[in-house]
Amino acid sequence: MRSRGLAGPGRFPPAQIAEIKALACELPAESGRPLSRWSHAEIAREAVERGVVCAVSGTTVWRYLSEDAIRPWAWRSWIFPRGPDFAEKAGRVLDLYERCWQGRRLDPGDYVISADEKSQLQALLGRHDPVAPGPGRRGLHEFEYERHGTLAYLAALDVHDPKRGLFGRCEEKTGIEPFGRLVEQVMTTEPYASAQRVFWIVDNGSSHAGKTSVQRLQTALTSTSSPRGSLPSKLPGNSEPDRSIGATPAATSTISSTASTNVITYQPPLDRTYLRERPLAACR
């Protein structure tokens, strides 16, 4: 008979296995290792140096860690919430994903758009065209390429129906004007052009952050949609109505800022003159 707690053939005792798993759950810096993350081999080497075992292979370490789905070499990016009211603000965005706003269900004529930008994308062009595969032959792709600087990619997605609304465009750089062209691209396309309300979820990038961005988008959208070029009589955060343009409110806009996300609500005016086609910058 084998004593309880002793290892079987080819296996370490449970206490040693537990120590190896505990080691894998530590940060390498805690052991003075100049590593960003553990590997099988490094965990095996550290276990031997600590005297946990006399010898162990990286493969054996991988087998033990797999038993509890421990993967110390796998990481993902994360931002810890710092705002005291983060949960409340983030809840507004999550509510929109569930088609709710301010405690009420969204109407069928309401849409939710999520937009973002990616800068510094390398524009590479192959020197030769690829060769299609054939019988008994793989396709050929030339590894040499020409550099054409960097571009920015802007995208907008209808979070409830990506097939209905998926937009993208290339620009030379990010900024207020490129983002405005993305907004125009979306808001001149049905069903968003004639929607009851369109909610835009964006981060706090300088192109679309704060009340100034709300006013800027509102001015651009209403000036191309209504001959009067009207703005809402009262913008969020203002104690007094905006008197700079004396016009009857034809559109409303609100913004809710989370720790890293803005929600911009745009309600198009009744006048639909902005449905006329306008040329848009082609993707470079």
Q: Per-residue pLDDT tens for 234-276?
A: 323 333 333 222 222 233 444 444 444 555 555 444 333 333 3
Q: How many separate domains does the chain show?
A: 2
2 belongs to a structural domain: no
284 belongs to a structural domain: no
Radius of gyration in angstroms for the set of CA atoms belonging to the chain, rounded to a whole number: 28
99 and 197 inside one domain: yes
What distances in angstroms separate CA 18 from CA 33, 113, 166, 179, 271, one per listed residue? 21, 48, 49, 53, 70
Q: What is the pLDDT of residues 145-168, one digit of tens each?
A: 888 888 999 999 999 999 999 999
Let me know: does 105 contact 99? Beta carbons within 8 Å: yes
How confident is the model at residue 233, as a pLDDT? 31
For 176, counting Cβ atoms within 10 Å of its Cβ (0-12 exposed, 13-18 middle, 19+ buried), the class is middle
How confident is the model at residue 274, as a pLDDT? 30
144 and 23 inside one domain: no
32 and 171 inside one domain: no
The token pair at 21 is: 């798993």
Let me know: does 100 contact 263? Beta carbons within 8 Å: no
How confident is the model at residue 247, as a pLDDT? 26
80 belongs to a structural domain: no
Contacts of 251 (CB under 8 A, 6+ apart): 218, 221, 222, 225, 226, 230, 231, 232, 266, 267, 268, 269
100 and 160 inside one domain: yes
120 and 62 inside one domain: no
Let me know: does 195 contact 110? Beta carbons within 8 Å: yes
281 belongs to a structural domain: no
192 and 267 inside one domain: yes
248 belongs to a structural domain: yes
Distance between CA atoms of residues 184 and 152, nearest Å = 17
73 belongs to a structural domain: no
127 and 46 inside one domain: no
51 and 164 inside one domain: no
196 and 169 inside one domain: yes
119 belongs to a structural domain: yes
How confident is the model at residue 146, as a pLDDT? 86
221 belongs to a structural domain: yes
How confident is the model at residue 106, as a pLDDT? 92
For 138, counting Cβ atoms within 10 Å of its Cβ (0-12 exposed, 13-18 middle, 19+ buried), the class is exposed
39: containing domain:
14-67
What distances in angstroms separate CA 180 from CA 27, 106, 177, 196, 256, one per listed residue? 44, 25, 5, 20, 19
Show the low-confidence residues of the chain (pLDDT under 50): 1-9, 224-260, 267-284
How confident is the model at residue 265, as a pLDDT? 57
